[in-house]
Amino acid sequence: MKNSEIADVLDGIADVLEFEGDNVFKINAYRKVARRIREIPEDIEQLYQSGQLSKIPGIGKNIAEHIEEYLKTGSISKYRELLSRVPSTFVEMMKIPNLGPKTLKLLYEHFKIQTIEDLKNVLEKPEAINLPGMGEKKIQNIKNGIQLYLTKRTHQRISLGIALPVVDEIVKYMKQVCKDISPCGSLRRMKETIGDIDILCTADNKDKVVKRFISYPGVQSIIAEGETKSSIIVKDHMLQIDLRVVEPESYGAALQYFTGSKEHNIKLRTIAKEKGLKISEYGVFKGEDRIAGKSEEEIYKIFGMPLIPPELREDRGEIEAAIAGKLPHIIKYDDVKGDFHIHTNYSDGISTIEEIVKKAIEMGYQFIGLCDHSQTSKFAGGLNVERLRERNKEIDRIARKYPQIKIFKAAEVDILGNGEMDYPDEILAELDFVIGSIHQGFKKNVTERMIKAMENRYVDIIGHPTGRLISSREGYEVDIDKVIEYAAKTGTALEINAYYDRLDLNDVNAMKAKEKNVMIAIGTDAHNIKMMEYMTLGVAVARRAWLEKSRLLNCYDWKKMPVKRNK
C-alpha cells in the first residue's frame, strides 16, 4: 500500500507551504487529506483505479491530481518544485521533533542554514536566542529534538542483505567521477546489520564528486555537503550514506581506518605506538614522514602482517594471528559449489525445479539440494510421502535433462515436539540428505529435541539452529553450546542459513562450531530463484567465523560429499 508514502508527500507539501507563509486553509486541506489517507483501511491505489478517490473526505480536484501523478510516476512535480525553494535538507529537518516549518523559516532567513549540522551550530549562537519568538527554552527544545532524531537514526540498523544492493547501485553511479571507490565501515566487513553506509573515493575533481553524489536520483535528503565529506539519505530504506573524498596517497590508510572496526583500529594503533609510529586515516608516519598510506597492503606490511580480510577485523584475535603468520585461509566467495537449502513449488517455494536448476547452472554450481517442507508443516505446503515421491520422480526427469549438475533429492524435515522426525526412517533413507529443522514449539525442550534428531543417522544437517530472525524474533530457547557439542559427537553438520533476516548460525556461533570441528552447510533457504543469490551473505558469515573451506560442505565435490550418511 502506498497510503503512508502519499500521506508523507502531502504533509511535505503542507510543510513547504507553511514555510513559505501560504494560505492557512490551503495548508490545512493538505494536512487533513494526509491524515485521512493514513487512517483509511483501503488501498489508495485501488481506490484510484476504481475511480473512488473522491470518497476520501476533503479531497479536491487539485489533491486528487497530485495523487494520480504520484501513483503513475512515483513523485509529484509540484512538490519537487516547492522543494527547490527551501533548504536542501528540508524534508529531513521536518522530522526533528519540536521544529516546525515556521521556526525553520525564521532560522533560515537569518542564518541561511542548509543542513542539520548548520542548524546545530546556529542554535549555539546568542543571536538565535534573541530572534522574535525564540528564547532559551525553545532553543533547548529544538536541541533535544535534534538529539532524539539523531539517536533514532543511529539506532535503526538495517540488514546487510538489504543494504548491499543499494550500495552497489550508488557505487556504480559514482564510478563515473571517481578514480578509486569502495564501501568501507561495517558493510565492507559484511556485518549482519549496518548502521550507516560509508563510501570512500579518490577523484581528480572533488567538486564534481560532491555534486554528482547529492544529485543521486535516489536521494531523499541531503544531510551535509562538503569538500571532504558529504552525507545523504536515500529513499531506499532511508539509509544514510557518507561519502568521503581523499587524496590518492592516503587512500589505503583511509580505507583501512574507515573500514574499522573501531576495536581493530585501536589495537593497530597500540602496535604502531610500540614501534614508535603513528597511524591515522592519512597514513602511517615516522615523525613527519609518511611511510605508508597508498594501499591497505602497504599499511599492514609495515606492521609485519599480511592484508587482513575486512570480515575478520573485529579484534577477535586476527591481529595476533596475522603477526604470528597464522591467519586462516578463509573460504572465498567463489569457493562455493552448491546450495543445500532450496524450496521448490512443490511446497511453499514459487520456482519450479527446472527454473531452480537453470539458475544454479548459471551461478556455476555443481550441485543443489532441493529441500521441501515435510508433512506437518501444513502452513508451508509440507509434502506427504506420496507427494514427496512424486517430486523425487520429477527431479529424476529434470536431472536427465541437465546432466551437468547434481540435484540432491532432499527435504527440510520438521523435528516434532517429541524430537522425532516428521517422516519415518525408511522415507528419510530414500533421500540424498535431510535437514532437520524446528518450526514449532520454540520454547519446548528445543535442545533435547535437536539432540534426539542428531542421533538419527539420516539427519545430516540441522537447519537454522537458533531460530532467530534478525528483525523480529529472538529465537528458540536452545543451549547452542550443547547442540554444537552433539553435532561434533554425531557428525551432524550445522547450517548457516543465508537468508538475510536469519543468518543462523551467526558468526559467533559458527566460530564456536569451528572450534569443535563441526561441519557447516550454507543454505539460502531460497523460496524463489532470486533468493539463491543470498549465498554471498552465508559465505560472509562463514568468513567472519574464520571458516576454511575444508569445514564447509558447500566446497566439496558432490561425489565425495562428507554428509553424515556417507560416512
- Applying CB under 6 A, the residues found at the interface with ligand DGT are 185-186, 194-196, 198, 257-258, 260-262, 265-266
In the bound state with Zn ion, the residue whose beta carbon lies nearer, of 189 and 439, is 439
CA separation, residue 22 to residues 16, 27, 317, 344 (Å): 9, 7, 62, 57
User: Quick one: what does residue 108 bind among ligand DGT, Ca ion, Zn ion, none, with the CB cut-off 5 to 8 Å set by partner type?
Assistant: none
Q: Which does 24 bind (CB under 5 to 8 A by kind): ligand DGT, Ca ion, Zn ion, none?
A: none
Report the nearest approach of ligand DGT to the CB of residue 190 (Å). Answer: 11
Name which of Zn ion, ligand DGT, Ca ion, none residue 262 binds, using a CB cut-off of 5 to 8 Å depending on partner kind. Answer: ligand DGT
Q: Given candidates 18, 118, 198, 495, which one binds Ca ion under the rule CB under 5 A? A: 198
Residue 374 in contact with Zn ion, rule: CB under 5 A: no
Cα dist. 60→29, 75, 108, 269 in Å? 9, 19, 32, 63
User: Does residue 419 touch Ca ion according to CB under 5 A?
Assistant: no
CB 340 within 8 A of CB 526: no
Q: Which is nearer to ligand DGT, 93 or 194 (CB)?
A: 194
DSSP 240-298: EEEEEE--GGGHHHHHHHHH--HHHHHHHHHHHHHTT-EEETTEEEETTEEEE-S-HHH
Q: Which stretch binds Zn ion (CB under 5 A): 109-117, 196-204, 432-440, 485-493?
A: 432-440
Nearer residue to ligand DGT within complex by CB, 260 or 338? 260
- Please report whether residue 314 would count as binding Ca ion according to CB under 5 A: no
Which residues, in sequence order, are CB contacts of 490 under 8 Å at separation 6+? 454, 455, 564
Q: In the 8-state DSSP scheme, what is residue 534? A: G
Instruction: Please identify, among the stretches 145-153, 269-277, 437-445, 467-475, the one whose residues bind Zn ion according to the rule CB under 5 A.
Output: 437-445
Closest approach of Cβ 311 to ligand DGT, in Å? 12
Least Å distance between CB 197 and ligand DGT?
Answer: 7
List strand residue ranges (DSSP E) for 85-227, in order.
158-159, 181-184, 193-194, 197-201, 219-224
- Tell me how far apart the alpha carbons of residues 367 and 129 are, in angstroms, rounded to a whole number: 69
Q: Which residue's C-alpha cell is 570480515?
A: 311
Select 185 or 338, whichever has its Cβ closest to ligand DGT: 185
Give min distance, CB of 241 to Ca ion, in A. Answer: 9
Q: Under 8 Å CB-to-CB from 473, ≥6 apart: which residues?
A: 467
Reported as type and span, the H/E element at residue 413 is strand 406-414
Spatial separation of the C-alpha atoms in residues 229 and 232, rounded to whole Å: 10
Q: Which residue is nearest to Ca ion (CB)?
A: 185
Rounded Cα distance between 83 and 546, Å, is: 49
According to DSSP H, which parts of 20-100 are helical? 24-39, 44-49, 61-73, 77-83, 90-93
Q: Identify which of residues 66 and 373 has a Cβ nearer to Zn ion in the complex.
A: 373
Q: To the nearest whole angstrom, how small is the minimum distance from the Cβ of residue 150 to Ca ion?
A: 13
Which residue, 3 or 259, is less far from Ca ion as judged by CB?
Answer: 259
β-strands 406-414, 433-437: how paired? parallel
Identify which of residues 343 and 406 has a Cβ nearer to Zn ion in the complex. 343
**Smallest gap, in angstroms, from Cβ of residue 103 to Zn ion?**
52
Give just the sign of the alpha carbon dihedral 503, 508, 512, 515. positive
Nearest residue by C-beta to ligand DGT? 260
Residue closer to ligand DGT (CB basis): 261 or 366: 261
CB 534 within 8 A of CB 473: no
Is 437 one of the binding residues for Zn ion (CB under 5 A)? yes
Site string for Ca ion, 102-121 (x = CB under 5 A): --------------------
Q: Is 192 in the site for Ca ion (CB under 5 A)?
A: no
SS3 303: coil
Residue 260 makes contact with Ca ion by CB under 5 A: no
- Segments of 98-160 assigned E as strands: 158-159
Closest approach, Cβ 214 to ligand DGT, in A, equals 19
Distance of alpha carbon 426 from alpha carbon 424, whole angstroms: 6
Binding region for Ca ion (CB under 5 A) out of 71-79, 240-248, 528-536, 559-567: 240-248
Identify whether the C-beta of residue 167 lies closer than 8 Å to the C-beta of residue 174. Answer: no
Q: How far is the CB of 254 from ligand DGT (least distance, A)?
A: 10
Nearest CB to Zn ion, comparing residues 296 and 414: 414
Q: How many residues does the chain have?
A: 567
Q: Interface with Ca ion includes 432 (CB under 5 A)?
A: no
CB 189 within 8 A of CB 259: yes
Question: Contact letters (x/-) for Ca ion, 166-185, by CB under 5 A?
Answer: -------------------x
Q: How many C-beta atoms lie closer than 10 Å to residue 201's C-beta?
A: 22
Question: Which residue has the closest beta carbon to Zn ion?
Answer: 437
> From the list ligand DGT, Ca ion, Zn ion, none, which binds 437 (C-beta under 5 to 8 Å, kind-based)?
Zn ion
351 near Zn ion, judged by CB under 5 A: no
- Grid look-up 573501531 returns 262
* Residue 252 or 260 with smaller CB distance to ligand DGT: 260
Q: Which of 92, 242, 296, 412 binds Ca ion (CB under 5 A)?
A: 242
Query: Can you tell me which of 92, 196, 225, 318 binds Ca ion, judged by CB under 5 A?
Result: 196
Determine contact, residues 417/440, Cβ cutoff 8 Å.
yes
Complex with ligand DGT: residue 82 or 241, whichever CB lies closer: 241
Q: Which residues bind Ca ion (CB under 5 A)?
A: 185-186, 196, 198, 242
Q: Which residues bind Zn ion (CB under 5 A)?
A: 437
